Amino acid sequence: MAQIHIPKEIPIRYLPRSKGATAFFVILVLLGGLAFAGTWMRDPDQAWRAYVVNWLFFTSVACGAMVLVTATTIVKARWNWSVRRVGLAFSAFLPISFILLLPMLGLGEDYFPWIEAMAHDPIVQKKAAYLNMPFLITRNLVGLALLFGGFLYMAYLYVRPDLGLVKDGGGPGAGGGRGSWVERLTQGWQGQEKEEVRSYQTLKKMAPALVLLYAVVMSVVSFDWAMSLEPHWFSTIFGAWFFMGALWGGVAATAWATVYAKGRDPDLNKLMGVQQLHDLGKLAFAFTVFWAYLFFSQYLVIWYGKLPWEQAWIIHRAEAPWSYLTVLAILLCFVVPFAGLIGRRAKMTPWTLRLFATVILIGLWLERYLMVVPSIHDGYPTITLLEPAIGLLFLGLFLGSVRWFMSTFPTVQIWQPMVEPESLEAEVRDAEGAAV
């Protein structure tokens, strides 16, 4: 921790606004919306499958980036001082994600096979206490509202002390519509020192609870929108596989956004240094190995047990016509990033880090696709140009919201949490004081 250099005075810098980028995001949303409408008129089931897959992917990546910030808050990490705000920027997508969830709650037996099976399948009937639409709607709305609300409040606590510095004339920030956010988020201001202490103490208390809430809610999401599609099959590791993959996607997305910000402003390029890239690259590499560990842990137990109802989920994805997509997902999620990021230079070079972060994100999108579609689509894979095209709707909203956050609030956090002595250091200090 002592080797981390944080400047005493951090300049206030924003990601430069770009009308071209805004227009590009709008075009993505329009193209994605047209693709969804066209697919829905031709094949509604395919359109909604693609919609759910993309919602699962982009929502999990945004939550993963937020839980990365939460985890570094718990351990009082300092290495990410200049990229912490980049991770927080993904919170801007969460309100949009909640709105995009609402149409999904209206899907019935065309998406959930267990609704029809409930009338005649004794195994499914035993799960009726959990597998019913009123409870599914309630737990998704309540759980995600709590999780998204917690993440947004955490982002507010991190941003508010910075806005006090902006308001007090610490640097530029009132132009371009930022002034209204400064006024709105600094109401009841109590002074810079009190605000920093209050934010830090509150963040310390809520971060562990947020991590636990994240694990529970993301597990429920994976159970409801992926695992329950084959209602006879279940896996106790499925939730962990999903939410740890989401965390991995958050690391990759944070690395990608950091490299993007470095290339848009020379001051951001200096503040977001090689050390931050290296650390993000090491995390991306570590979670590549951990993803493979979770994947193999699930496969090994199923293979060893050789029970038909446990094998069904794997068989659907290991045999034709889905096998080539499964192999491709393994290549993108493990083989390519493992080989590419094992060296030190690849983690520290912006373009290579962004390249392998992109590979990881594409692999995770394909993994989410394979979690959902083979369970409810019989026949040849439906992964055509339409699925990624519908994803453009989500991609435009996702990128636009993240970029809006980074250009509205200081891209590098100005105030830094206080450095508290570790428990052993505190004990030594107290003992020395008592001896004197």
Report CA torsion sign: 340, 344, 347, 352: negative
Q: What number is the average pLDDT over the span 287-310?
A: 87
Q: How far apart are CA 406 and CA 211, in angstroms?
A: 24
pLDDT digits (tens, 9 = 90+) for 22-63: 999 999 999 999 999 999 999 999 999 999 999 999 999 999
Cβ–Cβ under 8 Å, residues 13 and 267: yes
Q: Which amino acid is at 421?
A: P
432 confidence band (pLDDT: 50, 70, 90): low
Q: Is the preceding peptide bond at 421 cis, omega within 30 degrees of 0? A: no
CA dist., res. 112 & res. 143, Å (int) = 20
Residue 9 lies inside a defined structural domain of this protein: no
Q: What is the pLDDT of residues 345-372, one digit of tens each?
A: 999 999 999 999 999 999 999 999 999 9
Query: Which distant-in-sequence residues (6+ apart) come within 8 Å of 251 by Cβ?
Result: 64, 65, 68, 280, 283, 284, 287
CA 334 to chain centre: 19
Angstrom distance (rounded) from CA 416 to CA 41: 52
Choose between 72 and 381: higher pLDDT. 72
pLDDT of residue 174: 54
Would you state the pLDDT for residue 274? 94
Per-residue pLDDT at 172: 56
Q: What is the mean pLDDT of residues 9-22?
A: 92
Per-residue pLDDT, 176: 60
Tell me what the mean pLDDT of segment 189-214 comes to: 95
Specify if 52 maps to a domain: yes
In a domain, residue 189? The reply is yes
Amino acid at 324: Y
Nearest to 62 by CA among 199, 214, 200, 287: 214
Instruction: For 111-138, write each residue's pLDDT tens digit.
Output: 999 999 999 999 999 999 999 999 999 9
Say yes or no to pLDDT of 1 above 50. no
Task: Give dist(CA 230, CA 249) in Å, integer.
Answer: 25
Mean pLDDT in the chain? Answer: 91
Over residues 146-175, the mean pLDDT reads 85
pLDDT band at 316 (very low <50, low <70, confident <90, very high): confident
In a domain, 119, yes or no: yes
How far is it, in rounded angstroms, from Cα 54 to Cα 365? 8
What is the secondary structure of 336-398 as a DSSP string?
Answer: HHHHHHSSHHHHHSHHHHHHHHHHHHHHHHHHHHHHHHHHH--SS---STHHHHHHHHHHHHH
User: Does position 169 have pLDDT exceeding 70, yes or no?
Assistant: no
Contact 25, 424 (CB under 8 A): no
- Which pLDDT score is estimated for 433? 61
Q: Residue 67 corresponds to which tokens in the numbers above?
A: 């839980």
Do the domain assignments include residue 416? Answer: no
Do residues 280 and 353 lie in contact, with contact meaning Cβ atoms separated by under 8 Å?
A: yes
pLDDT mean over 217-241: 95
Which residues span the domain enclosing 337? 19-411
Helices vs strands, H then E, count in the chain: 19, 0
What amino acid occupies position 399?
L
What is the mean pLDDT of the segment spanning 335-342? 97
- Alpha-carbon distance values, 414 to 12, 159, 169, 193 (Å): 7, 9, 13, 13
Is residue 203 a part of any domain in this protein? yes
- The Cα 380–Cα 403 span in angstroms is 38
Lowest mean pLDDT among 125-139, 191-205, 288-302, 417-431: 417-431
pLDDT of 423 > 80? The answer is no
Q: Which residue has the higher pLDDT, 317 or 368?
A: 368
- Does a structural domain hold residue 113? yes
* pLDDT bucket at 2, cuts 50 / 70 / 90: very low
**How confident is the model at residue 320, as a pLDDT?**
82
Rounded Cα gap, residues 407 and 34, in angstroms = 28
Q: Return the pLDDT at 167.
A: 80
Cα–Cα distance list, 253 to 83, 258, 311, 357 (Å): 12, 8, 33, 7
DSSP 3: T
Percent of the chain with pLDDT over 70: 93
Where would I find the H helices in 186-273?
192-225, 238-262, 266-271
CB 151 within 8 A of CB 91: yes
Side-chain half-sphere exposure of 49, counting CA atoms within 13 A: 26
Q: Considering the domain boundaries, does residue 8 fall inside one?
A: no
What the block records as the tokens of 289 is 């190995």
How far is it, in rounded angstroms, from Cα 253 to Cα 259? 10
With cut-offs at 50, 70 and 90, classify the pLDDT of residue 212.
very high
The total of structural domains in the chain comes to 1
Average pLDDT score over residue span 168-183: 70
pLDDT > 90 in the chain, percent: 78
